[in-house]
């Protein structure tokens, strides 16, 4: 795959390093740009532009780590911190605005009621993104019986 614009949505999980490196690999043949996006989800009980210094500080740290990793792979990087009601629509909107060709999502292996769960954000992005989407799920920590 040879793509010029690849986006990775990050939230600070350890699983995201592999997603960032995959984005760098995909963008390498064309010397493309890796867009790194962190979305601060703001509850409906607050104005969407409310200042949350702790969440902003954490988001900036997550983006700085991601930027360092992308730069260590000699790729161009653009990082952005957004606030939104829901992560999924924010990622899709940014993918459209930046005209990215691929969105890469890192997913922890989580169970809900004893069954593997994608949550709500990943299915939303898979359903609405105008481009290819890769979901990179971390390995299961224990075998399923």
Nearest alpha-carbon partner for 20 in 103, 110, 121: 103
Instruction: Report all structural domains of the chain as residue ranges with CATH numbers, in order of start.
Output: 5-137 (3.40.50.620)
Q: Kindly give the confidence (pLDDT) of every residue in the chain, 145 residues in length, as a single tens digit, with 9 standing for 90 and above.
A: 678 999 999 998 888 999 999 999 999 989 999 999 999 999 898 988 888 899 999 999 999 999 999 999 999 999 999 999 999 999 999 999 999 999 999 988 777 777 777 888 999 999 999 999 999 988 876 554 4
**Token pair of 5, please?**
């614009």
Distance CA 18, CA 6 (A): 14
**Token pair of 86, please?**
């829901």
Nearest alpha-carbon partner for 97 in 23, 30, 16, 35: 35
**79-96 pLDDT, tens digit each:** 999 999 999 999 999 999
Please tell me whether the overall predicted TM-score, pTM, comes out greater than 0.85 for this model.
yes
Helices within 6-140 (DSSP H only)? 16-27, 53-72, 87-98, 121-128
């Amino acid at each position: 795959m040879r793509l010029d614009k690849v986006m990775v949505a990050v939230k600070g999980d350890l699983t995201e390093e592999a997603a960032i490196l995959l984005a760098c690999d995909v963008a390498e043949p064309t010397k493309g740009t890796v867009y790194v996006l962190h979305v601060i989800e703001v509850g409906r009980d607050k104005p969407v532009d409310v200042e949350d210094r702790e969440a902003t500080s954490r988001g900036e740290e997550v983006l700085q780590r991601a930027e360092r990793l992308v730069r260590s792979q000699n790729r161009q990087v653009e990082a952005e911190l957004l606030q939104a009601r829901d992560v999924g629509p924010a990622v899709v909107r940014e993918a459209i605005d930046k005209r990215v060709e691929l969105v890469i999502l890192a997913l922890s292996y989580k169970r809900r009621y004893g069954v593997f769960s994608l949550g709500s954000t990943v299915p939303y992005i898979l359903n609405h993104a105008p481009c290819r989407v890769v979901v990179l799920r971390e390995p299961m920590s224990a075998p399923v019986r």
